[in-house]
Amino acid sequence: MPDSVEFLVVGLGNPGEEYQNTPHNLGFMVIDRLAESNAIRVSRKENTSLVGLGAVRGRSVALAKPQTYMNLSGPAVRGLLERYDLKPDRLIVVYDELDLPWTTLRIRIKGSAAGHNGAKSLIGSLGTNEFTRVRMGIDRIEDLPGNPVKGAQYVLAPFKRAQKQDVEETVGRAADAVEFIIAEGAAQAMTKYNRRAQGLNTEEE
């Protein structure tokens, strides 16, 4: 019988050292931050994922980093939900979002994948789009001179040294948001954190 778990928190990313310090691995960075601040060791190998069990805000959680590539992460997450006998409403997924401005945070409780391949894989595997997402904005296209680099080239390129502080602060804020969701619920978290995404429609679900 697996350990009793109340929430599954999944960070999306790509395995391998070459991806560690890239926008597409912000989800992994948030899991690492949560693990560090809550003394959880994310080292168990389950369902092609690295998993750590522990407590966050007094609730039992499993923190997970799927070791498939991001666009194939759905089956791994579905397997973990089944293993811990959880429904998708107890799933919190953290990932980068190219459609959101740099350093903004956006929490959603349902909705389409919006072109994100990781979210698309999850929705396809889970058969529902109703699960909580913490999306981290990475769009800095306006900073790039001339013809901007789009898509894969950008999300898989290492962060620049000048971005380090922004990255640290955004990862910390996203980890705080996950803890707040666990303690107070996603609806309250949306009210608190989504206001930071200036110029966006705050009524988004």
pLDDT at 57: 96
User: Does 24 qualify as catalytic in the annotation?
Assistant: yes
Catalytic residue among 12, 24, 29, 178: 24
Q: What are the residue ranges spanned by the domains of the chain? A: 7-196
CATH of the domain spanning 7-196, picked from 3.10.20.740, 3.40.50.1780, 3.40.50.1470, 3.65.10.10: 3.40.50.1470
% helix, strand, coil for the chain, step of 5:
40, 25, 35
77-94 pLDDT, tens digit each: 999 999 999 999 999 999
pLDDT in tens, 171-205: 999 999 999 999 999 999 999 999 754 544 444 44
* 55-93 per-residue burial string, b: 16 or more CB within 10 A, e: under 16: ebeeeebbbbbbbbbbeebbbbbbbbbebbebebebbbb
Taking 70 as the threshold, does the pLDDT of residue 148 lie above it? no
